Amino acid sequence: MTPRLELDPLLVARARELAARAAEPVVELARRHTTVSVERAVLRLAGLTGTDPLTGGGGTENTVPWVNRVVDAVREQVGLEHGVALPVWHALASGTAPSLQALAEQVGAGTARFTLPEGADADRARAAARTAVARGIARIDANRRRREELVATHGDPPRRPWIYLIVATGDIHEDIPQAQAAARAGADVIAVIRSTGQSLLDFVPEGATRTGYAGTYATQENFRLMRAALDETSAELGRYVRLTNYASGLCMPEIAVLAGLERLDMMLNDAMYGILFRDINPQRTFVDQRFSRMVHARAGIIINTGEDNYLTTADAVDEAHTVTVSQLLNERFAHEAGLADWQLGLGHAFEIDPDRRESFRLELAHAMLARALFPDAPLKWMPPTKHMTGDVFRGYLLDGFFNLAGALTGQGILLVGMMTEAVVTPWLSDRDLALRNVRYVLDAAGGLVEDFAPPTGGFIDRRAHTVLTEAVQLLEKIAAHEGGLLQAIADGTFGITRRPPDGGKGLDGVVRLAAGAWNPALALLDREPADA
């Protein structure tokens, strides 16, 4: 059930119309370009894995994946303006190598030669590439069906919101027992936070890793190990436990593919987070996020967006409307890429200064606005972090208020707040206490969502409409501005962080497509799964 807050339907329609206008130039930018990571994702869908043993050193996190080596070689020899598929599968169809793996090894040896095929040669290469990539898409489709089977067998959690808990030791083999313990203590979603700085790596590490910093590397093998462990726990508990990781940063498309191949259930995937908080080039980010969201749509993965991060750098009251604008833009980008409303874990947060009078009423207004504006989206409600002081007793109380706000306003995904936020990385005992807090509030007050109806014209109703009106006004400025959304980001509109369109990391990995460019993954992802 959702709480009753009646928004002005004309204002809501205007907001979505303006969001579509503001998003369209960025969508067109994404359609006209590719990136090195998009092209590497194509090779991953076709089954190319592993690393060049002659590169790197010092562990699996430092070797260079074959997909990087092949894409770099194609770019050097013929360019990426037509995509990687035609030159690669032309080489295979011409008998240069018996398999994609063998061709990669020739690249490593320096003997591979790529050319851009024409005519019948291009047709043969196109057909072979489509067949190879289709096998990867078929595996993603099979994983989606398997998830549905397991949910039908084990069942979903008996109530909403789902309880979302972070695990992050740096060692996947330590993460697994902690994740299983968290699920047994009540967590419905386990998020394995990534190693610090992985979003800035322009390659995906390979294998099971044990040396992450403040998090664990996102790798295909780590995904496989954690999913298998949580499947065991799901059978034990009689409810399906979901797994989350992060499809963001310079390898967003590749990590999205790996998530689909290993049946992850949710992925952090925000349109602007990497731009604002990791200084990744805006153009690179928007091209990569469109492809990654098409993969998530096909895989049946719920995305989580990152609007909560804006409120760690900007005032949660003064800039509340920028959160709403970002949610509307994330919704538009997601719909254009094929995601359904049930897959939109749009983000927002409990970050108003608790010393401010009426802070809880303001939090309720903002949360109810999001709930009313996106009634069919699960929404991801984030706990207080900015104003946690190290006083664990005060922090525990704030987390209780946060949990109550989530219950009252019908949030879909509730990230567990930690009383030791800003003090230490949580101990298992900290997580246990935090989960007790959540369970108590949801058991005692979870049904209040059906009783809570702020009066029309009251404080919460007025505040929600004020924020929505300010969001519409900002969208009008963005849509009318010649530079559009890219200029708004450059001006510091979101999270008061300025990021110019030609700045940041990864711009050199963006390539404008030529006439006749072809990506077999895009062609296949545009189609619905056969049994959807």
Round to whole Å and give the CA distance between 135 and 128: 11
- Give catalytic status of residue 341 as yes or no: no
Round to whole Å and give the CA distance between 271 and 286: 7
CA atoms within 13 A on the CB side of 445: 16
For 180, the enclosing helix (H) or strand (E) is helix 172-184
* Residues facing 304 on adjacent strands: 268, 345
Q: H helices within 266-358, ranges in order?
A: 273-278, 282-299, 310-313, 320-336
For 66, the enclosing helix (H) or strand (E) is helix 66-77
Amino acid at 353: D
Please state, in angstroms and as integers, the Cα–Cα distance from residue 325 to each residue in 98, 253, 272, 276, following that order: 51, 24, 12, 15
Provide the Cα torsion 204, 207, 212, 214; round to 10°.
80
CA pseudo-torsion sign 23, 164, 12, 322: negative
Residue of 240, 273, 288, 461 with catalytic role: 273
- Give catalytic status of residue 308 as yes or no: yes
What tokens appear for 298 in the block?
């096909």
Residue of 265, 310, 380, 386 with catalytic role: 380
Residue of 141, 308, 399, 461 with catalytic role: 308
Please state, in angstroms and as integers, the Cα–Cα distance from residue 532 to each residue in 145, 319, 508, following that order: 9, 39, 37
DSSP label at residue 343: G
Given a contact cutoff of 8 angstroms between Cβ atoms, the answer to whether 285 and 275 are in contact is yes
Round to whole Å and give the CA distance between 314 and 312: 6
Q: 65 in the Ramachandran plot: left (φ > 0), alpha (ψ -120 to 50) or beta?
A: beta
- Give catalytic status of residue 240 as yes or no: no
CA atoms within 13 A on the CB side of 475: 29
DSSP codes, 181-237: HHHHTT-SEEEEPPPTTGGG-SS---S-----SSS----HHHHHHHHHHHHHHHHHH
**Residues catalogued as catalytic:** 273, 308, 380
